[in-house]
């Protein structure tokens, strides 16, 4: 039986990265996709509960069906697996290809990774694939090559891998020929130091524009995803949903009674 790949992202169905992901996914089976109508970056695990959601089919061709959805990336996954494709066996979830890295703490904010994590909760092997380049016309050749290798490896081993299975894959912004390889990593410890630019609109109302820079707390740690990207490797981080701090749980034993 032919495999079925479910595809979504957070940059909308119109992004170049999404189109690259469609072409990549077609190499492995039929593609069914529900992606946001508009850009939904930074939406993490957000869901829509206070307004209606609208869906429309935007493409139907041999082996490819694409819908645009008015919700968040996680909304896209939920409506797929709980409603539209509820009776369909899905072999893999591919979220991306994201414009911009989702390494380190970015995994917490990313809509692309939010959708990948959501897919894994349904027991489906899931991959969030991102390129460290925010440009709308970014070169996705390296991301496609890395994605092809990782998708193939995951599908070939899927029956022997535990669930939930979610991989956060990030590709450096360099020509494909310069990528040194793929490294299994852990998430880099660090944080974003936000900066807010304060301005006034033409009506005299104050508004703020968010920017900032990532602060790497361990730049020399060679087992981290940020180190891998900085040294021209593709990083692969297995992501878990359980956010329990087991070390702190032990330390609190006897403190909180």
pLDDT of residue 57: 98
pLDDT of residue 194: 83
Question: By percentage, how much of the chain surpasses pLDDT 90?
Answer: 93
pLDDT of residue 81: 98
Residue 257 forms part of a structural domain: no
pLDDT of residue 59: 97
Residue 115 forms part of a structural domain: yes
* SS3 state at 16: helix
Structural domain harbouring 43: 4-189+219-252
Residue 155 forms part of a structural domain: yes
pLDDT of residue 165: 98
Task: Kindly report the average pLDDT of the chain as a whole number.
Answer: 96
Q: Burial of 232 by CB count in 10 Å (0-12 exposed, 13-18 middle, 19+ buried)?
A: middle
CA-to-CA distance for 155 and 83, rounded, in angstroms?
25
* SS3 state at 95: strand
Residue 105 forms part of a structural domain: yes
Which stretch of DSSP H or E encloses residue 99?
A: strand 92-99
Residue 86 forms part of a structural domain: yes
- Inter-residue contact 41 to 11 (CB < 8 Å): yes
pLDDT, one tens digit per residue, over 142-193 is 999 999 999 999 999 999 999 999 999 999 999 999 999 999 999 999 988 8
Residue 20 forms part of a structural domain: yes
Encoding tokens for residue 156? Answer: 């070939």
Q: Burial of 218 by CB count in 10 Å (0-12 exposed, 13-18 middle, 19+ buried)?
A: middle
pLDDT, one tens digit per residue, over 198-236 is 999 999 999 998 888 888 889 999 999 999 999 999 999
CATH number at residue 224: 3.40.1210.10
Q: Give long-range contacts, CB 8 A cutoff, 24+ apart: 222-227.
A: 223/185, 223/186, 224/104, 224/185, 224/186, 224/187, 224/188, 224/189, 225/103, 225/104, 225/168, 225/170, 225/185, 225/186, 225/187, 225/188, 226/103, 226/104, 226/188, 226/190, 227/185, 227/188
CA-to-CA distance for 16 and 213, rounded, in angstroms?
25
pLDDT of residue 211: 86
pLDDT of residue 49: 96
Q: Burial of 93 by CB count in 10 Å (0-12 exposed, 13-18 middle, 19+ buried)?
A: buried
Residue 14 forms part of a structural domain: yes
Q: Quick count: other Cβ atoms within 10 Å of Cβ 241? A: 11
- Inter-residue contact 43 to 10 (CB < 8 Å): yes
Residue 146 forms part of a structural domain: yes
Encoding tokens for residue 174? Answer: 């360099």
pLDDT band for position 7 (cuts 50, 70, 90): very high
In the chain, how many domains are there? 1
């Amino acid at each position: 039986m032919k495999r079925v790949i479910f595809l979504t992202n957070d940059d909308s169905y119109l992004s170049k990265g999404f189109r690259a992901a469609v072409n990549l996914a077609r190499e492995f089976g039929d593609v069914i996709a529900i992606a946001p109508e508009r850009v939904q970056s930074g939406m993490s695990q957000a869901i829509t509960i206070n307004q209606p959601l609208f869906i429309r089919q935007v493409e139907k061709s041999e082996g490819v069906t694409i819908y645009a959805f008015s919700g968040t990336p996680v909304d896209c996954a939920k409506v797929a697996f709980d409603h539209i494709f509820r009776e369909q066996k899905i072999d893999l979830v591919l979220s991306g290809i994201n414009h911009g890295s989702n390494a380190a703490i970015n995994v917490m904010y990313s809509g692309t990774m939010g959708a990948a994590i959501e897919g894994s909760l349904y027991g489906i092997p899931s991959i969030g694939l991102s390129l460290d380049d925010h440009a709308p016309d970014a070169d996705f050749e390296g991301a496609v090559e890395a994605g092809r290798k990782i998708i193939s490896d995951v599908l070939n081993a899927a029956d022997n891998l535990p669930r939930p299975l979610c991989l956060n894959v990030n590709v450096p912004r360099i020509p494909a020929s310069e990528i040194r390889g793929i490294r299994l990593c852990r998430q880099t410890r660090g944080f974003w130091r936000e900066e807010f630019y304060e301005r006034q609109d033409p009506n005299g109302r104050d508004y703020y524009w968010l920017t900032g820079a990532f602060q790497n707390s361990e730049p020399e740690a060679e087992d981290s995803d940020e180190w891998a990207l900085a040294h021209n490797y593709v990083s692969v981080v297995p992501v878990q949903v359980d956010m329990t701090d087991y070390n702190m749980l032990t330390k609190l034993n006897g403190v909180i009674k």
